[in-house]
């Protein structure tokens, strides 16, 4: 079991959940839900556009309120809880970090594909300069194994990250893989370690517990598991699962459960794992490639699920290209044509 018996939960409903709304959350919804999360005992609330700081100004989908509106709403609603926001290099500018700090941001989470981790360093440095708690959120971490994650974690810690997050963006990892990756990083860095799991294979809660077992002290969750693709570990479920495992975690389960039922369910409906989301997780592919898979499958008259299984036979990539999907479709068609009757 981890030495970190007291686990910090960061509720990301107001950021990751925004992907499921065409207009994102409004500033008014942000204020109301953030206040509810604080009242329910959440120590950290992450909010803003799904793609983080700078995304509203670039009119990226979902098309929500401005960074300033989100940050003012969050700061006005939160008293004890700390406010976190995501910054993705290439979407956020360094100036966005300064403006967010001036508006009361507490925690800067720099999100970057693990294979491009070096791009996070200037953002981490700016966050430290502005006195923010800095996180390196290593996205699409299933692209590497334990040694690769440990090397990236060490580089981020050396570059100023006070916490390093293993983000299973594709929902592709198994509990044993998560444990091995976190343990490898724990052996290399003294920085705090975090885990952010997606639920494509139905393992977000199990993977979160495995991460804690191996040394992570922070876990990302969302109410009812709402989030991109198949969603995330559900806050209210993780609180109970963690306590069942003997961990000390924040959160009033009754209050969180009530918010899940009364605030989230009416907006989103039931959060379920669609077969295509499971297929993407099995193939180790991020959900941003699903539209391309569907398009090629329709053009080739192949079921999307069949094409996803064909893609699973190839090494996963950080971002799908049309060439890769077309190649998988052609290979699948060739195998079907030569199969014995």
3-state DSSP assignment of residue 331: helix
CA 143, CA 166: separation in Å to the nearest integer?
A: 11
pLDDT band, residue 341 (cuts 50/70/90): very low
In the chain, at which residue ranges do the beta strands (DSSP E only) sit?
8-12, 44-47, 82-87, 107-113, 133-139, 163-168, 192-197, 218-221
The two three-digit tokens of residue 13, written as one number: 């409903």
What pLDDT shows up at residue 1? 38
What pLDDT shows up at residue 337? 54
8-268 adopts what CATH topology? TIM Barrel (3.20.20)
Q: What is the reported pTM?
A: 0.94
CA distances from 243 to 221, 259, 303 (A): 15, 20, 42
Place of tokens 């990236």: 152
What pLDDT shows up at residue 3? 43
> How many other C-beta atoms lie within 10 A of the C-beta of residue 296?
20
Asked whether the predicted pLDDT for residue 201 surpasses 90, the reply is yes
* Stretch 167-177: mean pLDDT: 97
CA 50, CA 273: separation in Å to the nearest integer?
A: 20
Asked whether the predicted pLDDT for residue 20 surpasses 70, the reply is yes
Q: With contact defined as beta carbons under 8 Å apart, do 85 and 55 qualify?
A: no
pLDDT band, residue 6 (cuts 50/70/90): confident
What would the DSSP string read from start to end of 10-55?
EEEHHHHGGGGSTT---HHHHHHHHHHHHHTT-SEEEES-TT-TTT
Q: Which of 97, 88, 204, 188 is nearest to 147 (CA)?
A: 188
In the chain, the N- to C-terminal Cα span, in Å, equals 53
* Stretch 127-145: mean pLDDT: 98
What pLDDT shows up at residue 262? 97
What pLDDT shows up at residue 64? 87
The two three-digit tokens of residue 259, written as one number: 């918010």
pLDDT, one tens digit per residue, over 82-104 is: 999 999 999 999 999 999 999 99
């Amino acid at each position: 079991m981890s030495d970190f018996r007291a686990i910090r939960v960061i509720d990301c409903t107001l950021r990751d959940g925004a992907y499921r709304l065409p207009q994102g959350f409004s500033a008014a919804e942000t204020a109301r839900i953030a206040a509810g999360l604080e009242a329910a005992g959440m120590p950290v609330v992450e909010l803003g556009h799904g793609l983080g700081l700078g995304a509203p100004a670039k009119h990226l989908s979902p098309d929500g309120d401005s960074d300033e509106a989100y940050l003012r709403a969050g700061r006005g609603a939160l008293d004890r809880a700390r406010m976190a926001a995501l910054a993705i290099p290439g979407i956020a500018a360094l100036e966005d970090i300064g403006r967010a700090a001036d508006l009361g941001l507490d925690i800067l989470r720099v999100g970057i594909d693990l294979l491009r981790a070096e791009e996070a360093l200037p953002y981490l440095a700016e966050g430290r300069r502005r006195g923010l708690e800095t996180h390196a959120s290593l996205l699409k971490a299933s692209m590497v194994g334990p040694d690769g994650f440990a090397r990236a974690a060490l580089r981020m810690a050396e570059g100023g990250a006070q916490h390093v997050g293993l983000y299973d963006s594709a929902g592709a990892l198994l509990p044993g893989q998560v444990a091995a990756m976190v343990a490898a990083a724990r052996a290399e860095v003294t920085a705090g370690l975090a885990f952010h799991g997606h639920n494509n294979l139905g393992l977000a809660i199990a993977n979160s517990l495995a991460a804690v077992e191996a040394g992570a002290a922070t876990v990302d969750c969302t109410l009812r598991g709402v989030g991109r693709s198949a969603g995330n570990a559900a806050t209210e479920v993780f609180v109970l699962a963690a306590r069942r495992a003997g961990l000390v975690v924040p959160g009033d389960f009754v209050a969180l459960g009530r918010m899940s039922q009364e605030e989230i369910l009416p907006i989103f409906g039931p959060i379920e794992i669609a077969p295509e989301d499971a297929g993407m997780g099995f193939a180790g592919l991020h959900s941003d490639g699903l539209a391309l898979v569907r398009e090629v499958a329709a053009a080739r008259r192949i079921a999307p699920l069949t094409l996803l299984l064909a893609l699973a036979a190839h090494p996963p990539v950080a971002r799908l290209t049309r060439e890769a999907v077309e190649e998988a479709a052609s290979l699948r068609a060739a195998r079907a044509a030569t199969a014995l009757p």
